[in-house]
Structure 1
């Protein structure tokens, strides 16, 4: 079983409903995931995005860069008695999505990995382990780029974001 970082863009009305009814939110997430699984929209057009197994690597790199928003785990717990895979879901308000989008755009992936020794990830027990391969830090680049595009589109639409690990 893999741990996957998951995101869903939601409108203000959808966020309100999700907070009030987490069961509805999980059903809604599954509907969007199923619909987009068939069409595979680009990150800038998608409502759902996954960082796949890179979530912990990105968490490590973003924390090292003192990133201003917790884009990996979300910031506000809204269903503490729910488990969406590996713990409860959280969300980011539209203003935090906007700040995250600006910071992602301003922080290139090259800058994130600059000066990082893969042994640091091994020492920190960053999931999924196996950081000894040459060029391993490049593994996260496509997901980081996609995450940046996803957040930029969400910010432009003034969307909030549901965040969870599945």
Structure 2
């Protein structure tokens, strides 16, 4: 399971709100066309998504306020792709989350990194045994998440997130 994301222009947001089936096309392209390539996601957190969520919320599945909504927040929209439907975050939510993510520093997140607790909470991919290497893996993807939200926030964009 990986988490992907896509920024939405105002026109794309309008299209998604008018017809939630558009979500699949925006995230995955034309799956009915064997020749079509799947579009590259603008955000790909690989398998780090759940570990980052844990660092932001201290929980496996609860969605927190501000930065705690960065991974699992938003409103479910569109068809279920197997791991739940994609989620839509409106521009105001994106700005609030971006601000909260920018306020976090690495030391705060390092203090929350507890491989034993993460294993006990069954944080995917449930392989938290490499200490510093695991934390560095999460931080490289956290930096990508922060950039993604910041870019969308300064552009006034909404976001789609999906676990695939």
Tell me the residue number matched to 1:95: 92
Tell me the residue number matched to 2:49: 55
Tell me the residue number matched to 1:9: 7
Q: Say if 1:67 and 1:103, in contact at 8 Å, map to a contact too.
A: no
Tell me the residue number matched to 1:77: 76
The Cα offsets for residues 21-51 of structure 1, whole Å up to 9 and x where unpaired, read as 233221122249x5864xxxxxxxxx72111
CA RMSD of aligned residues (A): 2.2
Q: Report the Cα distance in structure 2 between the residues aligned to 1:35 and 1:150, rounded to whole angstroms.
A: 20
Which stretches in structure 1 are left out of the alignment for 5+ residues?
A: 38-46
Which runs of structure 2 are paired with 1:3-152 in the superposition (5 Å)? 3-31=1-29, 34=37, 37=40, 48-64=42-58, 67-69=65-67, 70-79=69-78, 82-135=79-132, 136-152=134-150
Give the C-alpha shift of residue 64 in structure 1: 2.5
Tell me the residue number matched to 2:34: none
SS in 1 for 2:66: coil
Scaled by the length of structure 2, the TM-score of the pair is 0.83
Scaled by the length of structure 1, the TM-score of the pair is 0.82
Aligned residues: 152
In structure 2, relative to structure 1, the CA distance for the partners of 1:118 and 1:164 (3 Å cut) is: same
